[in-house]
Structure 1
Amino acid sequence: MIEFHLDTRSGVPPYRQLVDQVHRALRLGVLTEGDRLPTVKEVAAQMAVNPNTVLKAYRELEYAGLVAPRPGVGTFVTRTLDDTVHPEYAPLRRELVDWLTRARAAGLAEESIEALFQSTLGDRTGDPLPETGAAR
């Protein structure tokens, strides 16, 4: 079962954080078809948020066709976003683990690693980075 975490400093609304965490769990195979999500009451208590926040997240996931509520039973995953079945997944993951190891050895903090990754991921220009590896 997924365990949610709330980052109050991120600036991302709590409901969006829940949706994003479920998406990640579905993409990584942590959640699979048929798995039950924690109840709204459980998540609201664990994260100290209003139950309506959790309901909003669960409704968005339902509209996306990823989960379905079963009255009196819970909310269940109806499909996955698992990319791990692709043959490219394992070698890419190994390369990423190697890169993360090098980044940590270079003294980068987790926040800096995440910022570097996010800025690189968000770079849609298609321009290759300079050979020096310096960020633009």
Structure 2
Amino acid sequence: MKGRIVIDFYLDRGSGVSTYLQLVHQVKQALRLGTLRPGDQLPTAKEVVERLAINPNTVLKAYRELEREGLVIGRPGMGTFVERSIGGAGLADHARLRRSLMSWIGQAREAGLDQDDLHALFGAAVTDSFREESA
């Protein structure tokens, strides 16, 4: 049984985050958002290497980390498949919040903020919010 392949990896070479961790984070984000579900197949190492021009060992390291965490399972001769989802607040069901966030991002871009600015601003706001909540 072959699962559907539903993730398209990308790299931010200027982020300072190692390539294998970017792949791990993208899989985890897709699991949280419901884009990836149990049974789905991850792209083969060869496909990722061809698309991103990275070392095959980097892809294998990311997949091994995900397997170690129990999120995926490698099936020899078949591929790597999602084993379980990441529990959480059901992010996939929060369409209204996503629309609000997309609107906010649009306003920020119109104000001249770039992606790095948005990450910094959003990250600081999230940190401040949780800090205030725990105070």
State the TM-score, normalized to the length of structure 2. 0.81
Of the three residues 62, 69, 73, the one matched with 1:64 is 69
Aligned to 2:56: 51
Identity fraction in percent: 54
Amino acid at match of 2:131: T
1:73 is the counterpart of 2:45? no
1:38 is the counterpart of 2:43? yes
1:5-28 C-alpha deviation (Å, 9 max, x unpaired): 111111101000000010111111
Aligned to 1:104: 109
> How many positions carry a matched residue from both structures?
125
The structure that is helix-richer by fraction is 2
What is the DSSP-based 3-state SS (H/G/I as helix, E as strand, rest coil) of the residue aligned with 1:37? coil
What is the DSSP-based 3-state SS (H/G/I as helix, E as strand, rest coil) of the residue aligned with 1:33? coil
Which segments of 5 or more consecutive residues in structure 1 lack a partner in the other structure? Answer: 128-136
- Asked if the contact 2:34–2:91 (Cα under 8 Å) also holds between the matched residues in 1, the reply is yes
Counterpart-to-counterpart distance in 1, 2:108 and 2:75:
45
Amino acid at match of 2:86: L
Amino acid at match of 1:84: L
Which has the higher Rg, Structure 1 or Structure 2? 1
